[in-house]
Structure 1
Amino acid sequence: MDNFFAAISLFRRRKYDECIEVCNSLLQQNALHQGPWELKMRSMTQRVYIDDIEADDDVAEDILDTQTIATAPRPGTSIRTAMAKPTTTGAATNRPRTGTGRPITGISRPGTLSLQRPASTLGNKTALRTASRTAAGATAGGSARNIRLGSASMFAVGDPTGPLFHISRLHPDKYAERDALSKPLFQYLYFHEGDIRKAMALCDAVLARRRNAEVLTDASSGWWWNTQKARCLIAIGSPREAEPYLRAALQELQHPDVVLLLARIYVKIDQPTAALEVCKQGLEKQPNEISLLTQQARILELVGNLSTSVRRYRQISALDPMNTEALACIAVSYFYANQPETALLYYRRILSMGAHSAELYCNIGLCCLYGGQLDLVFPCFQRALRMATASELRADVYYNLSFVALTTGDIHLARRCLRLCIAAHGSHASALNNMAVLVARQKQYQKAKSYLQAARTAHPNSDEIEHNLKFIENFQ
């Protein structure tokens, strides 16, 4: 077989390293051979590709104050001030909240990756999120881009042919006229090199050429370039400027990625109602699209409309029974609705699909505890501890294990678990608060006060910690 066709076969089978080696041998023989050069560029891009729609930054932490119009949004129309509906004890929406005020969700995703919880009472139960839907685990979009660039730089070491070209000398107008080459070149600049400015310059050149050309060779690709232009504007922190390009792309083609990017823009500028409307319009054109339904459910969860969000996840699970995110979020809703047996069924379903993680075993242990299956509680937590690698994750597992010990009346085991939790994560406010309560029961009020002061430093907005501090000061 010809070496170039062998390289194409390797590329189609996603053996990118071997494909690049064959392309290098061909380029050493003839450095001006365009076929291996373009194939190598595609392989280098796919090797470090990360879906930036799924690996987004934390939308609540973005600094967009200079572009904010209303500082006091109407109730129920903002992510930062999600409407708090009055609920009864044990209702499905009565969940613990993260440090940013969001309800604990069923799965770890960008924007809900903080493992730190507000202080909780000894009678409060806490379920960990099950798994991450991103390939990088607990990696958000900003760090995902750094990982991609770091991987690209490491792969470049030892390349006998050197860099494909010098980016500083790249002339966008020259490549904008070549339709077959402009798309892979943009992907290489954006995903492999991380040069957003140069990629955006290439988009501008292609769009300008398309506006000025009387006859277009590929009229169906206009939506793609508008989408990439908007993607670059989002990456440099100009989401409002990206909106017209996405609207223009939607007029040409109702693609799910375009709808998701437009919804992401509205979420970034704190307009979840507009984001939901965009998803609704997209679902009218593409009914039962899983990605759009999932985005709707996530936004509803962000604004605190948990009941409607769970209904969306039920619809997703009916369309895709293997969707881990939908199953995990439904399980969490059952858990906080005081139905641990039903939640256990969903978690066991996720476990049977091959998703083994410390969070999953911890949640199964908690469901077994509340369901009365005490003989399965400690084996689940033992498995969770063996699989927990991150210090914060081990701290959460030890915290939940201390709650199991308190439920069974083993105060000595609870104290040891809380100490291990604090040793793994020194700013775990819930563990510090509970440790102070246990120490105060031994009448060591000065030591309890020090624990509560550390807890207040870790979580300054907790009413429970302030109440406990005032209670301890009465004994001194």
Structure 2
Amino acid sequence: MSDDVSVEFSGFIKAFRLFRNNRLSEAEAVCTALLRKNPLDQATWALKLQCLSDSTYVDELENEDVGLAETFLEQNVIAPNARPGTSFQRPKTTSKGVNPILRPSTNAGRPITGVVRPQSSFKSGSMEQAVRTARTAKTARAVSSTSARNMRLGTASMASGGDGEFVNLARLNIDKYAADPQVNRQLFEYVFYYVNDIRIAHQIAGVATKSAGYEDHFWKNQLAKCYLRLGMLQDATKQLISSLQQKQLIETFAFLAKAYNRVDQPMAALKTYSQGLEVFPEDVTMLTGMARVQEALGEYELSVDLYKKVLDAQSNNIEAIACVATTYYYGGKPEIALRYYRRILQMGVSSAELFMNIGLCCLAAQQFDFALSSIMRAQATMTEDVAADIWYNIGQAMVDVGDLYSASRAYRIALSHDPDHSESLVNLGILQHREGKTEEARSLFSSAISKNPTMFEGNFNLALVCLHQGKYHECRKLVEKALIAFPDHEHCKKILNTIKVLYESI
């Protein structure tokens, strides 16, 4: 029996094998050593570019860092006064599925159950409210789509090593290297992901497209990425449509639908996803995109059906499992929702939101021992960004078991973590009103409305207080605002009719 022979790799082969094994930092170190010996080694140079870009890669399909400027100063929206159900700004409120008012959202626009997805961080409400909200990018200016990502990358991506910056873009011959098919893709991804210089990346993609005779669908997609980052949505749409005429790819369909979503054209996005499903049946990316759009439009039944199709194609899709579980929970079936959330836990996911969801499901299913342990686990693992929501849900649990004192304390702790948490303000106001402290309740309701003017609960509860105090004119205004958020609320309609009779009698 012959002895085993161990093979030692060196040079470029060693760097390439390290790169293939996803050991990017080691591969980069080997490339750096090789380039010190031979700075003109083009293959090693391209491999190091790829290592650096892969270390900071962000999927552009899931990257939706849209901030204040893009949200409230958007000039690309085609129909500002669209019909209900045809725009993200006016979703349906009377769909056959779960009513949106029964599926509450946080101040960040995210469902309280912890389901987080792209575009869920869009701010709702007025621009004045968004300006008052604390900055998330730690800057004095309004958060833009690039500032959040720049803060996430920090200075690490542009930190100069011992030999200085790897590629000096100011002195680089863009036209020469962008026209070279051997290195232009690596150079583009380095500039786009690592350096985050969209202007230079767009220049590289433009030169490469021209050198390819405008026949390469890859570079048209890269141009579309640059246009999406720059906010030039119509130009991005043109490039993607031209790319689809040359070659139909899942990525191209998804980017085109994303561009339509950015200009508030969900019907066009759904049509694009449908066309993608005709070419790629049961594709998870297409089905997930359709489900997100349908949910944003208020079509919860259609959204859940699509998420179930996603699970048929990919049974370990966490987003689909969480969304189906959320629907079952708000549909009055906590036992079924608990099975889905436990499935996520079995898959290795561990977060404060997940433990809180399991605790709420156990509480609704009257499994109090598991509920307490899950809520305590959520409280122990929570981070500062979700602490207010965790304590808000703890307050809800305390209300369910009848401990109103502990509920009031939990809401106050939630407000200590996030003073703009309007849901906690409303519920704390209700508890104060039950104790007969009407003025304190009124102050809390007013504060909640100032934090979130479009919130139904704040307007409705303050309207009830005004009605009991005989302030009918103010009550009428608040009820009308509440009906904008929930047009089919019967109690609001009754109050409005009662006030109308009083006005007519005068």
- TM bracket, shorter-chain basis: 0.7 to 0.9
Q: Which residue of 2 aligns with 1:300?
A: 294
Give the superposition deviation at 1:13: 1.1
Q: Decide whether the 8 Å contact of 1:23 with 1:39 is kept in 2.
A: yes
Q: 2:41 aligns with which of 33, 44, 52?
A: 33
Give the SS at the match of 1:376: helix
After superposition, the C-alpha distances for 1:124-168 in whole angstroms (9 at most, x for unaligned) are xxxxxxxxxxxxxxx987523542363302xx34x2332233212
Q: 1:4 aligns with which of 2, 12, 20?
A: 12
> What is the identity, as a one-letter code, of the residue corresponding to 1:296?
M
After superposition, the C-alpha distances for 1:80-134 in whole angstroms (9 at most, x for unaligned) are 111222669x7698422455888768720122137999xxxxxxxxxxxxxxxxx
User: Do structure 1's residue 80 and structure 2's residue 89 form an aligned pair?
Assistant: yes
TM-score where L is the length of structure 2: 0.81
User: Do structure 1's residue 195 and structure 2's residue 197 form an aligned pair?
Assistant: yes
Give the superposition deviation at 1:468: 3.4
Q: State the aligned residue count.
A: 442
CA distance in 1, matches of 2:217, 2:43: 26
Please provide the CA RMSD for this pair: 2.7
After superposition, the C-alpha distances for 1:336-373 in whole angstroms (9 at most, x for unaligned) are 11111111111111111111111111111111111111
User: Do structure 1's residue 69 and structure 2's residue 62 form an aligned pair?
Assistant: no
Cα distance, 1:225–1:412 mapped onto 2, change above 3 Å: same
Q: Which structure is higher in RCO with an 8 Å CA cutoff and minimum separation 6? A: 1
Give the superposition deviation at 1:319: 1.2
* Higher mean displacement: 1-10 or 328-337: 1-10
Give the superposition deviation at 1:188: 0.8
Unmatched 5+ stretches in structure 2: 1-8, 126-143, 471-506
After superposition, the C-alpha distances for 1:207-226 in whole angstroms (9 at most, x for unaligned) are 222238xxxxxx6xx01001
After superposition, the C-alpha distances for 1:297-320 in whole angstroms (9 at most, x for unaligned) are 111111111111110100111111
Which aligned pairs between 1:399-410 and structure 2 lie closer than 5 A?
Answer: 399-410=392-403
Q: Which residue of 2 aligns with 1:421?
A: 414
Give the superposition deviation at 1:433: 1.8
CA distance in 1, matches of 2:440, 2:233: 50
Cα distance, 1:394–1:431 mapped onto 2, change above 3 Å: same
CA distance in 1, matches of 2:200, 2:357: 46
User: Do structure 1's residue 431 and structure 2's residue 430 form an aligned pair?
Assistant: no
Cα distance, 1:339–1:91 mapped onto 2, change above 3 Å: farther
CA distance in 1, matches of 2:146, 2:270: 22
After superposition, the C-alpha distances for 1:391-414 in whole angstroms (9 at most, x for unaligned) are x41221111111211111112221
Q: Decide whether the 8 Å contact of 1:62 with 1:268 is kept in 2.
A: no
Q: Decide whether the 8 Å contact of 2:358 with 2:374 is kept in 1.
A: yes
User: Do structure 1's residue 147 and structure 2's residue 155 form an aligned pair?
Assistant: no
CA distance in 2, matches of 1:30, 1:261: 40
* Higher mean displacement: 76-85 or 97-106: 97-106
Q: 1:448 aligns with which of 434, 441, 444?
A: 441
> What is the identity, as a one-letter code, of the residue corresponding to 1:83?
K
Between the two proteins, what is the percent identity of the paired residues?
Answer: 33
> What is the identity, as a one-letter code, of the residue corresponding to 2:428?
M
Which aligned pairs between 1:68-467 and structure 2 lie closer than 5 A?
Answer: 68-85=77-94, 94-97=102-105, 107-113=115-121, 143-148=148-153, 150-153=155-158, 156-157=159-160, 159-211=161-213, 222-390=216-384, 392-467=385-460
After superposition, the C-alpha distances for 1:20-44 in whole angstroms (9 at most, x for unaligned) are 2112222222222223222211111
Q: 1:469 aligns with which of 462, 466, 469?
A: 462
* Higher mean displacement: 321-330 or 58-67: 58-67
Q: Decide whether the 8 Å contact of 1:106 with 1:325 is kept in 2.
A: no
CA distance in 1, matches of 2:296, 2:112: 10
Give the SS at the match of 1:397: helix
Q: Decide whether the 8 Å contact of 1:50 with 1:144 is kept in 2.
A: no
CA distance in 2, matches of 1:93, 1:191: 39
Cα distance, 1:426–1:39 mapped onto 2, change above 3 Å: same
Give the SS at the match of 2:71: coil
Unmatched 5+ stretches in structure 1: 118-138, 213-218
After superposition, the C-alpha distances for 1:159-187 in whole angstroms (9 at most, x for unaligned) are 23322332122332212331011111111
